[in-house]
Amino acid sequence: MGIGTKIRDFFKHAEEVMIYQVLSVFTFVMHPFYYWIYTQFVEGAKDYLSHRIFIAMMAIIPLILQLLGKISVKRFMQISNISLYLNTLWFLFIMYVNNYKPEYVVGYYIVLTAVGFSFNRMDYLVFYTVTSLLIMVGTIYYVGVDNMETHYFPLVNITFSMNILAFIILYIKLKYKALLKENNEILQKKNHEILDSIKYAKRIQEAILPSHDYFKENLQDSFVIYHPKDIVSGDFYWMERVGKKVLFAAVDCTGHGVPGAFMSILGDNGLKKIVLEQNILKPSAILNALTEHVISSTTTGAEVKDGMDIAMCCLDTETRILEYAGAYNPLYLLRNNEIEIVKATKRPIGRFKRKKIPEFENHTIQLEKDDLVYIFSDGYADQFGGPDKFKFTYRKLRDILLKNHHLPMQEQKEVLERAYTEWKMDEEQLDDICFIGVRV
């Protein structure tokens, strides 16, 4: 049984299992203690240590096995129920053997009261209380009422008081459960409404991404890996064609989930406005304009310090001249079995509080036939996993690209996705993933 299953199993029955655990410890401690008390201080007591050890071990062994994860919580409670019934029957037996001595009757009703506290339904507790009181009254009359005032009347009061206490505790517990259930229903309703809104936001976000057909139409030999960490993503990929030039980008907005998704829509709108309306096609100029757009769009009201990292490319499809500029996100050029890392400018899109802010550098590369270009966010290489729970690293990423660059782009995509999945194993996805590969 996996650790996750054990934890879910425990919390599913948390309240009941804790009651059974307490009763198991109580039973284990009670029997040796009572044996010593009865044999030392009750004249003529007939007691059986072997019986008590057997019952005590029946109570404690299942508890130990459950705590060690050897048996399930459900099986532990089943065995504990058998142990409780055995306890009750054994006390009836020992009362009879000792001719219903008051000391043994007291012990019996202590057990009955303890068992009463384990109930979770009022009707069960009522039935149990009435039954136990009838047994007690029957016992008193069987023994005789001559010594009732001396020995049994206090017992009636104690038993009645303990059962009243059990009723009060159960009433509070049921009220708490009802309140908890009501709050859970409210939370589930709110959670459902929020999830519905986020899922609708996902459809909106997916609508702004370039379609598969549009991407393949403009970059025929290419692939895109896109895996949001949450329902919506802070990463996005972008593409526009202007004449003979194809502009494409891998963008990593600050954060992920809903905050990142808001920033991604701001980034997408900004890029479209800059390229299509302002006709700016030089990548470094695009990043400068996008920085101004992000700052101007987030200056009203509270100051927003978030921004985005980006790798922006402009490919002339006739001359094969590629222009690139990056904000933290580099470009990999794979040629002749070697990877050249074209470094990005070390600054983000958005506010950047430094005394000297570097200008975005524009790189111009004359591509050759079968050159491969890769741009990506940091979510792939930063993923924790493997046997030692380390980051995947860019070095491993470059090794995979070098080893598999001869494959068709779709197969390269499959290799990269498989390597990521095998590395991540059961670790939580750390960040959004956006990865673009293009063969010229």
Which range, of 52-61, 270-279, 395-404, averages the lowest pLDDT?
52-61
Q: Are 104 and 94 in contact (CB under 8 A)?
A: yes
**Confidence at residue 369, expressed as pLDDT on a 0 to 100 scale:** 92
Count of residues for the chain? 440
Pick the more confident residue, 17 or 337: 337
Q: Can you tell me whether residue 323 is helix, strand or coil?
A: strand
pTM over 0.85: no
Tens of pLDDT, residues 8-48: 444 445 566 777 788 888 888 888 888 888 888 888 888 88
pLDDT, average across residues 173-183: 78
**Confidence at residue 197, expressed as pLDDT on a 0 to 100 scale:** 84
Which range, of 170-184, 268-282, 303-317, averages the lowest pLDDT?
170-184
Share of the chain above pLDDT 70, in %: 79
Mean pLDDT of the chain: 83
* Residue 267, CA distances (Å) to 219, 225, 323, 365, 371 in order: 22, 19, 20, 26, 29
Distance between CA atoms of 233 and 29, rounded to whole angstroms? 57
pLDDT above 60 (res 372): yes
Question: So where are the chain's domains?
Answer: 3-183, 209-439
The two structure tokens encoding residue 259: 């905050």
Identify residue 11 by its one-letter amino acid code.
F
With bands split at pLDDT 50, 70 and 90, how would you rate the model's confidence at 388? confident
The two structure tokens encoding residue 250: 């891998």
pLDDT above 80 (res 346): yes
**Confidence at residue 177, expressed as pLDDT on a 0 to 100 scale:** 75
Q: Can you tell me whether residue 224 is helix, strand or coil?
A: strand
Q: Are 300 and 337 in contact (CB under 8 A)?
A: no
H/E stretch holding 333: strand 331-335
Distance between CA atoms of 409 and 222, rounded to whole angstroms? 6
With bands split at pLDDT 50, 70 and 90, how would you rate the model's confidence at 127? low
Q: Are 347 and 358 in contact (CB under 8 A)?
A: yes
Pick the more confident residue, 302 or 15: 15
**Confidence at residue 10, expressed as pLDDT on a 0 to 100 scale:** 42
Helix axis angle for 409-424 and 394-404, nearest 10°, is 140
Question: Is 145 buried (19+), middle (13-18) or exposed (0-12) by CB count in 10 A?
Answer: exposed
Q: Both ends of the chain: CA-CA distance in Å?
A: 51
Cα–Cα nearest to 349, from 276, 436, 271, 282 = 271
Kindly list the strands in the beta sheet with 222-227, ordered across the sheet, starting from the edge strand earlier in the chain: 222-227, 433-439, 372-376, 331-335, 338-342
Other CB atoms within 10 A of residue 402 CB: 13
Identify residue 132 by its one-letter amino acid code.
S
With bands split at pLDDT 50, 70 and 90, how would you rate the model's confidence at 121? low
Q: Can you tell me whether residue 253 is helix, strand or coil?
A: strand
Contacts of 432 (CB under 8 A, 6+ apart): 227, 228, 229, 233, 234, 235, 252, 256, 260, 377, 379
Distance between CA atoms of 232 and 200, rounded to whole angstroms? 10
Cα torsion at 291, 440, 436, 424 (round to 10°)? -140
Give 209-439's CATH code, choosing from 3.40.50.720, 1.20.272.10, 3.60.40.10, 3.40.30.10. 3.60.40.10
Residue matched to tokens 């954060």:
255
